Amino acid sequence: MIFDLDLRSRDPIYQQLVDKFKELIISNILKQDEQLPSVRVLAQQLTINPNTIQKAYRELESQGYIYSVKGKGSFVDATAQVENRAALKEIEGELMKLMKEAMFLGLDKSDLKKLVDQAKEESGGGIAND
Amino acid sequence: MIFDLDLRSRDPIYQQLVDKFKELIISNILKQDEQLPSVRVLAQQLTINPNTIQKAYRELESQGYIYSVKGKGSFVDATAQVENRAALKEIEGELMKLMKEAMFLGLDKSDLKKLVDQAKEESGGGIAND
DNA sequence: CAACTGTACTAATAAGACTAATACGGTTAT
DNA sequence: ATAACCGTATTAGTCTTATTAGTACAGTTG
């Protein structure tokens, strides 16, 4: 489990952790029901405070990416993502904003559609369908 | 000039202002060389500190969206956006991340490509090409 | 000169991220 | 059952940063 945290970033550490884990789950590197490192172990590995890990895990759980069981651990929950309508709406809004900005900066529709294909290949495209 | 700022947001006010002005410039509601409200006037309208406006304008200038002239004012700079290679690379990265997440949450390629078309229509599509 | 513009600087306040220490409750294997 | 793990909660202190406040300087315009 390798994490390249940037302690000097404006992005909080817990947010970086959330993003990293999301990527690992989305790209299916962490698989369904696979156990995440424990709060204490990961904190020791990264030499940061356990509370920070806990905050990241709590966030991941509230977003439906993992589930935690007292006494057992935290595990990947890659099911039922489709039900997360609110999150999807938010992401669509962000996507629209970024796409408009990208177009303003010189990209055109075909460039963006290539990005779509690329995103598909790099994530579910090669993994979820096998 | 209407701004619906969320003072309680985790996003800083100056960042919200940057986003708003970007949107207005990208959608061509604010046109080339059009003057932006002065730092002091806008601060008074929004009942926030002039320094916050200044910070937003400085950011917009560093990103190439406006230019400021001492004694005269701040103006829209919608030219030469294509040269901003670094910004474009960053945006592409963010787009990839969001697209992957959107797919994980249930969207497919065609959904995303529809978003691309929609973004085109709502921004440059209907304005830059007339 | 007066009234406007952007810009710069310093200090004070408020909020939030992070650390630290501690404690509680559930699980699992010996 | 008891030790060694797990997640969870709470409180307090530190540090950073956004924001405010006040002041000052420099250029433009009538």
Give the CATH number of the domain where residue A53 resides: 1.10.10.10
Whether B2 maps to a domain, the answer reads no
The predicted pLDDT at position A82 comes to 58
pLDDT at A1: 63
Asked if the structure places residue B1 within a domain, the reply is no
The tokens for B92 are 């592409």
Nearest residue by alpha-carbon distance to C1' of C6:
B70
In a domain, B6, yes or no: no
Q: Are residues B20 and B72 in the same domain?
A: yes
A19: amino acid identity, one letter = D
> Residue B8 domain-assigned?
no
The parent domain of residue A102 ranges over 84-127
Task: Identify whether A7 is part of a domain.
Answer: no
Query: B123 and A104 in contact by Cβ < 8 A?
Result: yes
Q: Which residue of A has its CA nearest to B112?
A: A116
Tens digits of per-residue pLDDT, A41-88? 999 999 999 999 999 999 999 999 999 999 999 999 987 565 677 788
**What is the chain A residue with the closest CA to B108?**
A120
Closest partner CB to A119 (pick from B27, B103, B115): B103
Claim to verify: residue A44 and residue A92 sit in the same structural domain:
no
Say yes or no: B62 and B88 in one domain. no
Q: Comparing C-alpha atoms, which of B129, B63, B121 is closest to residue A105?
A: B63
Burial of B87-110, coded b for 16+ CB within 10 Å and e otherwise, reads ebeebbebbbbbbbbbbbbebeee
What domain count does chain A have?
A: 2
Is position A104 within any domain? yes
Query: In this predicted model, what pLDDT tens digit does every residue of B72-123 receive, in sequence order?
Result: 999 999 875 656 778 889 899 999 999 999 999 889 999 999 999 999 998 8
Residues B51 and B92 reside in one and the same domain: no
